[in-house]
Structure 1
Amino acid sequence: MTEAESPFPSSATEQPIVLVVEDDSSIRGALRRLFGTVGQQVQTYGSAAELLQSELPDAPRCLVLDIRLPGRSGLDLQAELARNGTQIPIIFMTGHGDIPMAVQAMKAGASDFLTKPFRDQDMLDAVAAALELDRARRTQSKALDRLRVRFASLTARERDVMMLATDGLMNKQIAWELGVSEMTVKMHRGHVMRKMDARSIAELVRMADSLKVRGSDPSPLQT
């Protein structure tokens, strides 16, 4: 069973939440109280297995993780989350003898690590930075999802025109490449700009870069 002061908000919420994995119940309680002083939602777990068996909240989140745990270690959990494709900033808590392990964790993408005993403000600052990082990731992910939906609305010919236009070809060159009239290219290009909601060719180029469709197979919907 996990410990929490209140249940998770609904999955659609944007209320940030701090997840804590620590086998020492006194430390779990102290962290829950610390985060509560700044109004942060908290969910605590006694082991890596408990977290892996739980549904993580669909909200800005970060993980405060002890590097030494019974069963799966903090490093094992970090690796497992990466294999599962779970993106979450991780702040490791380490003992003085765990610095080499902490360096390994940072190389594997950890957001920060704090050596026990740490100052409360250092932990609050690390969590605030990690939550902001996750907010930015979620914003980027949602924007990319919207781009993919727009791109999916293009016809095959419109995708061809978009790829060639964002590679720098002029309408006449695109017409030659596709074996169609320049007027047809202009029509398709107008459809592309409207469907992609692009205000300029420069903006369309940025969209194509985000979708990874410039000069490559125009099928980014499963990436």
Structure 2
Amino acid sequence: MQRLMIADSSDIVRKVGKRILSELGFLVVEAGSAPEAIMRSQAELPNFMIVDASLDGALDVISAVRGMPNGQGVRIFYCVIEADLKKMMVGKRAGADDFLLKPFDRKILTSVFSGFAAAA
């Protein structure tokens, strides 16, 4: 089973994302802060991460994961509220692989992640 971490300060976003992604077959781990996301990643590196751009220390999370053994293999989605090119480029430079627009819903998460869950 593929492990996926949602790093977002919003309890509601994490709960909704966890419900949808669990139904797709992911083992979902939640982190409500950057230090928690880093600590959980050190304990067990996820295969995928959704990191909210508005999370304090979001770029630190991405950089820290990239610096971990096997951290280059984690597929990181940087979650932005709007298609802000400047913010997206900062996320890309920190090591994000892809982007998600927020707020996301079942349709978006299913279209982005269903292929990854099937590949597990």
2:54 is aligned, of 68, 82, 93, to 68
Mind listing any 5+ residue stretches in structure 1 that lack a counterpart? 1-14, 136-223
Cα deviation, residue 80, structure 1: 1.8
Q: 1:47 to 1:129 in 2, by over 3 A?
A: farther
In structure 1, how many angstroms separate the alpha carbons of the residues matched to 2:110 and 2:31?
19
Matched ranges for 1:72-111 at <5 A: 72=57, 74-85=58-69, 86-87=71-72, 88-96=74-82, 98-111=84-97
Kindly indicate whether residue 113 of structure 2 is the aligned counterpart of residue 122 of structure 1.
Answer: no
- Equivalent residue, structure 2, for 1:170: none
Per-residue CA shift, 1:145-197, capped at 9, x if unaligned?
A: xxxxxxxxxxxxxxxxxxxxxxxxxxxxxxxxxxxxxxxxxxxxxxxxxxxxx
Aligned residues: 116
Structure holding more helix per residue: 1
- Equivalent residue, structure 1, for 2:44: 56
8 Å contact from structure 1 (residues 89, 131) kept in 2: no
8 Å contact from structure 1 (residues 21, 47) kept in 2: yes
In structure 2, how many angstroms separate the alpha carbons of the residues matched to 1:29 and 1:37?
12
Matched ranges for 1:170-189 at <5 A: none
CA RMSD of superposed structures (Å): 2.6
8 Å contact from structure 1 (residues 61, 131) kept in 2: no
Q: 1:39 to 1:129 in 2, by over 3 A?
A: closer
Structure holding more strand per residue: 2
8 Å contact from structure 1 (residues 20, 65) kept in 2: yes
Q: Structure 2 counterpart of 1:102, which letter?
A: M
Mind listing any 5+ residue stretches in structure 2 that lack a counterpart? none
Q: Which has the larger radius of gyration?
A: 1
Q: 1:96 to 1:17 in 2, by over 3 A?
A: same
Cα deviation, residue 120, structure 1: 2.5
1:42 is aligned, of 19, 23, 28, to 28
- TM-score, with length taken from structure 2: 0.78
8 Å contact from structure 1 (residues 91, 127) kept in 2: no
- TM-score, with length taken from structure 1: 0.45
